[in-house]
């Protein structure tokens, strides 16, 4: 990563590390070495340390004195909180849909859905980006697109759980079908159906968590988490 002025450099490093955590490149429970991270990013330890502090404030990193820093495990409680916020915002946004939908945004959503239909040929992150753009687009239809930034900032644990779910699913086709159902209901002016479909779609993550936790409990936080021991953690590819 090229060095720029200090402020930009720190912001870039923070965003890069946050993305590595959210995309599971740095897996839940992975030990973090400031020296190794700094070397891999071509920067000094100081901006890395500052970034880890910011990520700790978000609950994405845990720092244990005299032991080290670790990527936090996915916290089902924080997933539920973020899901509550997201569901409340997105359902309220549906209630504000105008009688005449913006044709430009509708066109973007149709194009997005067409690209999602080729989900089998997409990488996980490509599909995840389309998913995010689809939901933000729905909020833009009701004039609340800018609120998405606030929602996105609050759902770090939720996004990791969603990615774990995508890793588990053989195909994202079920999510594509749910998106299509939501869009068709909106385009047809059936807001109650759109709300029901949206609620079902957003809550699917809870089933994913229970299924994954059954065979990989080490990825999730518990009420009585022990202090971790530094060890190598296999990262997601």
Structure tokens that stand for 30 in this block = 């992975």
Tens place of pLDDT per residue across the chain (237 aa): 444 455 658 899 999 999 999 999 999 999 999 999 999 999 999 999 999 999 999 999 998 888 899 999 999 999 999 999 999 999 999 999 999 999 999 999 999 999 998 877 888 899 999 999 999 999 999 999 999 999 998 899 999 999 999 888 767 889 999 999 999 999 999 999 999 999 999 999 999 999 999 999 999 998 655 555 554 444 444
Secondary structure of residue 232 in the 3-state scheme: coil
> 38-73: per-residue pLDDT in tens?
999 999 999 999 999 999 999 999 988 888 999 999
Number of Cβ atoms within 10 Å of the Cβ of 14: 18
For residue 167, how many other CB atoms are within 10 A of its CB? Answer: 12
pTM: 0.85
Nearest to 208 by CA among 74, 113, 86: 74
Most distant pair of Cα atoms in the chain: their distance: 60
**Nearest CA among 73, 34, 53, 41 for reference residue 156:** 73
A 10 A CB-CB count for 9 gives: 18
What's the distance, CA 3 to chain centroid?
28
């Amino acid at each position: 990563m090229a060095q720029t002025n200090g402020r930009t450099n720190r912001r870039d490093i923070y965003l890069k590390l946050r993305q590595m955590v959210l995309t599971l490149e740095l897996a839940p429970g992975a030990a973090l070495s400031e020296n190794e991270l700094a070397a891999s990013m071509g920067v000094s330890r100081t901006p890395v340390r500052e970034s880890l502090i910011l990520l700790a404030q978000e609950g994405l990193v845990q720092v244990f004195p005299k032991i080290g820093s670790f990527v936090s495990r996915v916290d089902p409680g924080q997933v539920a909180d973020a899901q509550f916020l997201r569901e409340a915002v997105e359902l309220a946004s549906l209630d504000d849909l105008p009688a005449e939908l913006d044709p430009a945004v509708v066109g973007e959503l149709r194009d997005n859905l067409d690209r999602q239909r080729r989900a089998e040929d997409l990488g996980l992150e490509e599909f995840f980006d389309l998913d995010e753009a689809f939901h933000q687009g729905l909020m833009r239809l009701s004039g609340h697109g800018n609120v998405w930034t606030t929602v996105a900032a609050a759902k770090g644990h939720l996004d990791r759980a969603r990615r774990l779910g995508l890793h588990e699913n053989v195909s994202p086709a079920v999510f594509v079908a749910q998106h299509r159902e939501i869009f068709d209901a909106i385009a047809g002016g059936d807001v109650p159906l759109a709300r029901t479909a949206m609620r079902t779609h957003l809550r699917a993550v809870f089933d994913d968590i229970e299924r994954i936790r059954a065979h990989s409990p080490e990825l999730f936080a518990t009420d009585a988490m022990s202090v971790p021991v530094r060890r190598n953690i296999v990262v997601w590819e």
